[in-house]
Amino acid sequence: MRIAVYAFDGVTMFHLAVPQMVFDEVTRQGLGAWTTSLFSDGPDSIRTAEGYQLAGIKGPDVAVGADVVVVPSWFDDGRVLSDTLRAVLQNAHQQDVPVLGLCLGAIAVADAGLLAGRHAVTHWQAFTTLTERHPDILLDRSVLYIDHGDVLTSAGTASGLDACLHLVRNRLGAEAANTVARSLVVAPHREGGQAQYIEHPVPQRSTDDPIAHLLEWALGNLREPLTVDRLAEQAHMSRRTFVRAFRAATGTTPSAWIRSRRLDTARRLLETTDLSVEQIAADCGFGTAVTLRQNFAGTFSTTPTDYRRSFDTRPSTPTLR
């Protein structure tokens, strides 16, 4: 798969590196043949925000025929995109090529007309700018990324990692995304619906942090009934105090977090084992296959069986003749 990443004068090294690190890691880990190429309005060199000169930047033709086009950030002054980039993004969209607007890159995607009347997200500091320029776009402050299938936008800087891992997960499965995340030493799955600004983006791991201990305990006991009251009791907190502390640490509710972890485990088991859907449902805490199917379809728009057919990572057994 070929990914074209837009580069421009003033882009930070981090923003430019995020999609390259995640997508190139797919190839480094032997999970697929993914390549990234940098392009700009014309073949030339660019100067990053840190003052580095990057040579060998391709022209817009590199985006023609790409499987994904990424705008990893945008100019600090929020300028309107060039006619050249507008044409690149619109042509990609017309060819059913996914377009990613990471962080401030959502501004360029919006200017290209790809977000009209749709929900989107960008860095919280740019909400006013984007709202004034495109009042028809429904901006959501409460999420890390929003994926419409054809267009994906993400929130602040580090959310680009989450969005790129989300694309890997959708194309190659949860196990592949986990492999990439482990190699990069980042969280394998932060929810798209998680708030982009929370008190503790990563739960504290001090010895006296009850939420961190609770998360570890819950992951080892997913097959049990894990109600909010049960979790609060395990954390030695009142229900009200627990819910407040949990959201401050994770950016989401206990019920939503447990459901997502169960679905993550279900996907991993579907990819790596031959357990029946009924057994997986029991092991993940969904109780019945019907409940698992309902939650799975509601979240991933597919069935467990179809998901296994697409992402089964087990080596095939040769047929004896």
User: pLDDT digit string (tens) for 130-161?
Assistant: 999 999 999 987 788 999 999 999 998 889 99
Residue 191 has a pLDDT of: 53
Identify the residue whose tokens are 């600004």: 197
CB-based contacts of 97, cutoff 8 Å, min separation 6:
66, 67, 68, 69
Residue 38 has a pLDDT of: 97
Which pTM was predicted? 0.76
Q: Which fold has domain 2-184?
A: Rossmann fold (3.40.50)
How much is the mean pLDDT over the chain?
89
Among 1.10.150.120, 1.20.58.1290, 1.10.10.60, 3.40.109.10, what is the CATH number of 210-252?
1.10.10.60
Q: What is the pLDDT of residues 239-277, one digit of tens each?
A: 999 999 998 888 789 999 999 999 989 999 998 999 999
Q: What is the pLDDT of residues 70-118, one digit of tens each?
A: 999 999 999 999 999 999 999 999 999 999 999 999 999 999 999 999 9
Q: Where are the domains of the chain?
A: 2-184, 210-252, 256-311
Is the pLDDT confidence value at 311 over 60? yes
Residue 109 has a pLDDT of: 98
| Closest to 132 measured CA to CA, from 114, 101, 111 | 111
Q: What is the pLDDT of residues 47-59, one digit of tens each?
A: 999 999 999 999 9
* Alpha carbons 63 and 203: distance in angstroms, whole number: 39
Q: What is the pLDDT of residues 225-238, one digit of tens each?
A: 999 999 999 999 99
Q: 3-17, 26-40, 110-124, 305-319: lowest mean pLDDT where?
A: 305-319
Indicate left, alpha or beta for 197 from its phi (over 0: left) and psi (-120 to 50: alpha).
Answer: beta
Residue 320 has a pLDDT of: 44
Is the pLDDT confidence value at 170 over 50? yes
Cα separation values, 221 from 101, 245, 265, 279, Å: 37, 20, 12, 15
Residue 199 has a pLDDT of: 37
Sign of CA dihedral 133, 87, 74, 35: positive
Cα separation values, 2 from 39, 85, 103, 211, 257, Å: 13, 18, 21, 41, 33
CB-based contacts of 227, cutoff 8 Å, min separation 6:
none
% pLDDT > 70, the chain: 90
Do the beta carbons of residue 111 and residue 81 sit within 8 Å? Answer: yes
Among 3.50.50.60, 3.40.462.20, 1.10.260.40, 1.10.10.60, what is the CATH number of 256-311?
1.10.10.60
Can 210-252 and 256-311 be said to share one CATH topology? Answer: yes
| Closest to 280 measured CA to CA, from 294, 265, 259, 295 | 265
Give phi and psi for 138, each to the nearest 5: -95, 95
Tell which wins on pLDDT, 191 or 219.
Answer: 219
Residue 250 has a pLDDT of: 81
